[in-house]
């Protein structure tokens, strides 16, 4: 019987592994090594993007990273509503179930229009540092976990970030108006409002489903909530409050609380986890 050559077999599998690794790497690289140009978009007027062009639709199949070209003035959504005769109208929109690993909006953009990314799936977004207007439903139900709002932003329209996974948000001092339900149905344990905007009375930050993990026990009230205000309806057994501090009892893992600050503006349910059970970090 012919002797089995293990060295040759090992060499064969090593070569096969190298080929497969190279193929996977090439495929992944192709997904991100794409440059978006003006020809990839449709415009209502110079610099004002409304949808993907045919060329852009082809490019979308090659990448999950969307970079709008520098020089763009505005990005608008809801193309399908105003172009009912276009058979590709839903595909041309930037939302409608499309997945993006990253969306980059250049600093030339000042206006992000109505439903611009409505029901997209977005892992990361970089907003323009010149943005002044954020339209209604702009990032509705996009799965965003974090977003940094620029210091130029003036208006945040209705439902702009509704139904995401935001845990913290800082509203810049530049913001003048925040309309109804703009941040409702998120996971916001911390809301910082740096200025004095006109906040619509209809649940701008309501229906939050929150998990909060403070860094140590005791922990301070001014570290979370709406500018340090929680609006807890009651403090459950296992958690105590005194002189601006919350303190867990030794053997308690977590507590659940309902909160409502300022008549439904910041409202929801919060689970707070005892940091002594999982952390030795410190807070300042």
Q: Please report whether residue 17 resides in a domain.
A: no
pLDDT tens per residue across span 121-172: 999 999 999 999 999 999 999 999 999 999 999 999 999 999 999 999 999 9
Helices (H), the chain: 6-32, 54-60, 79-82
- Residue 130, domain member (yes or no): yes
Q: What DSSP letter does each residue of 99-113 carry, written as one string?
A: EESEEE--TT--EE-
The domain tally of the chain equals 1
**HSE on the CB side for 80, CA within 13 Å?**
14
Give the range of the structural domain holding residue 150, as residue numbers without chain letter.
31-209
| Structure confidence by residue, pLDDT tens digits, 206-233 | 999 999 999 999 999 999 999 999 999 9
Is position 44 within any domain?
yes
Establish if 263 belongs to a structural domain. Answer: no
Give the model's pLDDT for residue 28. Answer: 39
Q: How far apart are CA 258 and CA 49, in angstroms?
A: 43
DSSP 68: P
Mean pLDDT (whole number) for 253-268: 96
| Model confidence band, residue 32 (pLDDT cutoffs 50, 70, 90) | low
What's the pLDDT at 258?
98
Find the CATH number of the domain harbouring 160.
3.80.10.10
Q: Which residues pair with 255 in a beta bridge?
A: 272
Residue 269 within a domain: no
Tell whether 272 is covered by a domain.
no
Q: Which of 137-143's residues contact partners 24+ apart within 8 Å by CB, and which partners?
A: 137/77, 137/162, 138/77, 138/112, 138/113, 138/114, 139/164, 140/115, 142/95, 142/117
Q: What's the average model confidence in pLDDT over 97-114?
A: 98
Does residue 281 lie in a domain region? no
In a domain, 93, yes or no: yes
């Amino acid at each position: 019987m012919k002797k089995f050559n293990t060295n040759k077999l090992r060499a064969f599998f090593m070569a096969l592994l190298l080929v497969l690794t190279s193929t996977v790497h090439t495929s992944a690289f192709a997904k991100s090594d794409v440059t978006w140009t003006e020809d990839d978009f449709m415009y209502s007027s110079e610099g004002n993007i409304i949808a993907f062009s045919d060329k852009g639709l082809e490019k979308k199949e090659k990448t999950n990273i969307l970079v709008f070209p520098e020089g763009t003035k505005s990005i608008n959504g809801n193309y399908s509503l105003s172009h009912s005769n276009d058979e590709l109208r839903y595909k041309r929109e930037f939302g409608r179930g499309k997945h993006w690993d990253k969306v980059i909006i250049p600093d030339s953009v000042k206006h992000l229009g109505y439903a611009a990314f409505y029901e997209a799936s977005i892992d990361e977004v970089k907003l323009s540092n010149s943005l002044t207007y954020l339209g209604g439903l702009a990032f509705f139900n996009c799965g965003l976990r974090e977003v940094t709002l620029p210091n130029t932003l003036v208006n945040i329209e209705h439902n702009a970030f509704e139904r995401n996974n935001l845990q913290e948000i800082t509203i810049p001092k530049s913001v003048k108006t925040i309309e109804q339900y703009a941040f409702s149905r998120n996971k916001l344990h911390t809301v910082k409002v740096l200025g004095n905007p006109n906040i619509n009375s209809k649940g701008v930050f309501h229906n939050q489903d929150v998990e909060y993990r403070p860094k140590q026990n005791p922990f301070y009230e001014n570290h979370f909530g709406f500018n340090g205000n929680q609006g807890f309806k009651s403090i459950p057994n296992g958690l105590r409050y005194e002189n601006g501090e919350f303190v867990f009892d030794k053997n308690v893992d977590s507590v659940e609380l309902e909160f409502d600050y300022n008549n439904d503006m910041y409202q929801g349910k919060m689970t707070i986890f005892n940091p002594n059970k999982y952390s030795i970090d410190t807070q300042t």
